[in-house]
Amino acid sequence: MSKRTDSNGYTMVFAVVMVLIVGSLLAFLASSLKPTIKENERIEKQQNILYAMGVNENDESSANFVSTSIAGEEFSKYIKKQIVIEGDKVSESDDAYLIDVKKQQANAKAGKVRKLPLFVGEKDGKTYYVAPIRGKGLWDAIWGYVSMDENMIVQGAYFDHKGETPGLGANIKQRYFMDDFIGEHLMTESGAFKGITVAKGNNDPKNEDKTDYEVDAIAGATITGDGISAMIKKDLALYVPYFKNLKK
Amino acid sequence: MGLLSKKDAVLLTDPLADNNPITIQVLGICSALAITAELKASIVMAISVMFVLGLGNVVISLMRNIIPSKIRIIVQLIVVATLVIIVDLVLKAFAYELSKTLSVFVGLIITNCIIMGRFEAFALGNGPWRSFLDGIGNAVGYGVILIIVGFFRELLGSGTLLGFKVLGDPIEKTGLYAIGYENNGFMLLSPMALIVVGIIIWIQRSKNKSLIEEN
């Protein structure tokens, strides 16, 4: 028995109507929710930056941001200066945290000057310099914020990812991994930039040696770990001239 | 008569054992391998699939008489992708924290063959209520296997369960580690998930001989 739904005409009409309905539904939803989502992302950036400089609500083992309702307040309280570095030019801007690192990386590739945001925070009399980094993991983008003191010794780090494997690469945003970075040196004694490598081999599993330029890798997440090493080396190296100037 | 007739109840209970989507129908293996390194990820995935499959089965079932058979697979794909994207967008706007946890699962759900499999095998030929039960039943059956695999992989691979160190601390050498126990890092990799699923299939078939196919 041939059904009405088997005819070519019906199939075509059905496909067109379905695409129209689904397309407009999704487009409508996406554009009407966009402002709310943008706002959420903006607050999250503030929370990330604060997290990296130690303003968070961490308990013993899990990573918790300051709550969204007070993120803006805390951000203006702790972040004293937002700096934009453009080549040799250093300027201040209150919206530096909105700079899209991905876009700036593309700019740099196209031969344009890359804007480097740096957030200067103060907590308990100590100054923190928080820099954003961004790179590639196994499946998709990974990014993070690293806070340093004026000698480029890491004071805190926050990592996040778009689509790393749950249970493996996704664990870069777990405390046990992020906390390993605290205290690690980025510069050698002679003042050369060395970065931090996410290393297999477990020479220092308790992470007591802070000048080995290594942290312990996550089992089963080699490529995500390599991505972290690469983005630290690549993106943080760009800030070295600023820190060298700072000391003069 | 209760809420469920006997015929309907079978739809819920059958996928839990004798018609389990993973061990018998061999659907949804890809995600069972990908995300079972941790118990928590397994549980999140199980709940997400239950939601999408329950709802998707109802939508497909309601549309079953108007879907042209020539393009039914594409239509099914569109329905599941639309559902997942809508949920993802709404979560991003109103439950941002939750959406961060779930976002990596979105792609895995859309391409999960268990969903397409149930649309094709059941929802296209049955009413919405029965399709809903079938969806929930299969998602639970899928989830149970996911959680069993996740349990063993996390326990033997990392020595933790839901992030708690149940076997002691491997670095401080306490608990079991004090007497020389070591985590098996291989458990964290996908091949071991396949082996664990294989062991479950083996146990299940040796208990219920009727499941064994004749050669």
User: Cβ(A190)–Cβ(A165) under 8 Å?
Assistant: no
Token pair 């480097």 is at which residue? A116
- The separation between the first and the last C-alpha atoms of chain A, rounded to the nearest angstrom, is 88
CB pairs under 8 A between A and B: 95
pLDDT at position A207, please?
Answer: 75
What is the secondary structure of B130-187 as a DSSP string? HHHHHHHHHHHHHHHHHHHHHHHHHHHHHSEETTEESS--TTTT-GGGGGT----GGG
pLDDT averaged over every residue in chain A: 88
How would you class A54 by CB atoms within 10 Å of its CB: exposed for 0-12, middle for 13-18, buried for 19 or more? middle
Using a CB-CB distance cutoff of 8 angstroms, which residues of chain B are in contact with residue A40? 92-93, 96
* Min distance B38 CA to chain A CA atoms (Å): 5
Report d(CA A5, CA A68) in Å as an integer. 51
Contact B171 A40 (CB under 8 A): no
Whether ipTM > 0.95 holds is: no
Residues of chain B neighbouring A26 (CB-CB closer than 8 A): 82, 85-86
Pick from A137, A141, A49: nearest CA to A99: A49
Q: Are A197 and B163 in contact (CB under 8 A)?
A: no
Contact of B174 with chain A, judged by CB distance below 8 Å, is answered with no
Q: Which helix (H) or strand (E) holds B101?
A: helix B96-110
Task: Note the Cα B107 to chain centre separation in Å.
Answer: 14
CB-based contact, B188 to chain A, within 8 Å: yes
Look at B189 and A29 and tell me if their CB atoms are within 8 Å.
no
Out of A157-161, A218-222, B168-172, B182-186, pick the least confident: B168-172
Q: How many helices (H) and strands (E) does chain A have?
A: 6, 8
Contact predicate A196/A186, CB 8 Å = yes
The confidence score (pLDDT) of residue A201 equals 75
Interface test with A, best of B82, B101, B149, B186 (most A CBs within 10 A): B82
Residues A177, A142 contacting (CB under 8 angstroms)? no
Over the stretch A153-206, which tens digit does the pLDDT of each residue have?
999 999 999 888 887 888 898 888 999 899 999 998 888 898 899 988 766 777
Question: CB distance A167–B92 less than 8 Å?
Answer: no
- Bridging pattern class, strands A89-92 and A79-86: antiparallel
pLDDT confidence bin for B99, thresholds 50/70/90? confident
Residue type (1 letter), A77: K
Cβ separation A166–B154 shorter than 8 A: no
Using DSSP, state whether A106 is helix, strand or coil.
helix
State residue A1's pLDDT score.
42
Per the document, the length of chain B is 215
Residue B213 phi, psi dihedral angles, 5° rounding = -75, 145
Structure confidence by residue, pLDDT tens digits, A6-46: 888 899 999 999 999 999 999 999 999 999 999 999 999 99
The label of the residue with tokens 């349990």 reads: B151
- The CA distance from A151 to A156, in Å, is 14
Asked if A154 contacts A186 with a C-beta cutoff of 8 angstroms, the reply is yes
The reply to whether residue A29 touches residue B188, judged by beta carbons under 8 angstroms, is no
Which of A5, A163, A206 lies closest to B104 in CB terms? Answer: A163
CA distance A162 to A137: 9
In a mutagenesis test of the B interface, which of A16, A36, A39 is the best target, namely the one with the most B β-carbons within 10 Å? Answer: A36
Q: Which two tokens stand for residue B196?
A: 């664990």
Give pTM, 2 decimals. 0.79
Q: Which of B96, B163, B188 sits opposite A168 (nearest CB)?
A: B188
B38 touches A at CB < 8 Å: yes
Which of B37, B74, B93 is nearest residue A168 as measured by Cβ atoms? B37
Judge contact between B165 and B64, C-beta under 8 A: no
Q: Which residue, among B78, B174, B196, would best test binding to A if mutated, counting the most A CBs under 10 Å from its CB?
A: B78
Residues of A in contact with B154 (CB under 8 A): 167
Per residue in A56-71, pLDDT (tens digit) is 888 877 788 888 888 8
Interval B153-180: pLDDT, tens = 989 988 888 878 888 887 777 888 888 8
Q: Which tokens in the block code for residue B60?
A: 């497909």
| Alpha-carbon gap, residue A226 to A89, rounded angstroms | 32
Give the gap in angstroms from C-alpha B88 to the nearest C-alpha of chain A.
10
**Per-residue buried b or exposed e for A28-40, using 16+ beta carbons within 10 Å of the residue's own CB:** ebeeebeeebeeb
Contacts of B92 in chain A (CB under 8 A): 33, 37, 40
Residue A21: how many CB atoms within 10 A of its CB?
12
Measured distance between the N- and C-terminal CA atoms of chain B, rounded to whole angstroms: 42
Q: Which two tokens stand for residue B7?
A: 């015929």
